[in-house]
Amino acid sequence: MCVVVAILSQLGDDPEFVRKLVLADPARADGTFLPEVRAGEYWRLITPIFIHFGPMHLLFNMMWLFQLGCMIEARRGVTTLAALVIVTGTLPMVAQYLISGPGFVGGMSGVVYGLAGFAWLRGRKDPASGVGLSPQNWIMMMIWLVLCFTGWLGPIANTAHLAGLIIGLVWGWVSGNHARQRPE
């Protein structure tokens, strides 16, 4: 879906196309909370994750989604992966909206940080799960997160990144603790 949307939106350069997928259309902003969603356009809660602004944005998100998603799906199942994608795809975008208001915000980064947080903490709490993130990849993700917050890399949905990470960490912690408490 991300590649299809990237092609149809010209990597986010077609504002008319992007306007139909973002959480709230900035051109129709009326000061109310998520007016389009409240009017029944529920797809807007998930479709922003499919929008990417530029080839590097798409490439890096797809690389991490493939690596992390395949690992989680293989070891925890498609239901866990789907739930993680839906939750870390919607809540971080809503958090970004609450901080920044309506805008052209999109990408799979909140999901990627959610999956990374889940994998890292689940692996630390329950190494037998087969889910984990190498220390090098974890450090690289955290360095990238900090670099994004500096502003040196341009406008970035930092709230979505951080919210996705926090959700993933909490999910990994709860899941790992629950697994450790089950009788063998």
Residue 161 among the catalytic residues: yes
- At 132, the amino acid letter reads G
pLDDT tens digits along 114-163: 999 999 999 999 999 999 999 999 999 999 999 999 989 888 999 999 99
Segment 76-80 shows an average pLDDT of: 97
Contact 129, 181 (CB under 8 A): no
Average pLDDT over residues 68-72: 98
Q: What single-letter amino acid sits at 129?
A: S
Confidence at residue 183, expressed as pLDDT on a 0 to 100 scale: 59
SS3 143: helix
- Single out the catalytic residue among 9, 129, 161, 175: 161
3-state secondary structure of 110: helix
Provide mean pLDDT across the span 70-97.
97
Of the pLDDT bands very low, low, confident and very high (cuts 50, 70, 90), residue 184 is low
pTM, two decimal places? 0.94
Long-range contacts, stretch 121-125, CB < 8 angstroms, 24+ apart:
121/168, 121/169, 121/172, 121/173, 121/176, 122/171, 122/172, 122/175, 122/176, 123/172, 123/176, 124/172, 124/176, 125/172, 125/173, 125/175, 125/176, 125/177, 125/179, 125/180
Could you tell me which residues come within 8 angstroms of residue 59 by beta carbon, excluding any fewer than 6 positions away?
Answer: none
Largest CA distance in the chain: 56
Set 109, 129, 134, 175: catalytic member: 109
Question: What is the predicted pLDDT for the residue at 51?
Answer: 97
What does the DSSP 8-state code read for residue 105?
A: -
Domains along the sequence of the chain with CATH: 2-181 (1.20.1540.10)
Residue 150, C-beta contacts closer than 8 angstroms, at least 6 positions apart: none
For residue 29, the model assigns a pLDDT of: 85
What phi and psi, each to the nearest 5 degrees, are found at residue 48?
-60, -25
H/E run at residue 82? helix 78-100
Q: What is the per-residue pLDDT across 11-53, written as a single tens digit (0 to 9) for each?
A: 999 999 999 999 999 988 888 899 999 999 999 999 999 999 9
Task: Provide the total of helices (H) and of strands (E) in the chain, helices listed first.
Answer: 8, 0
Active site residue 134: no
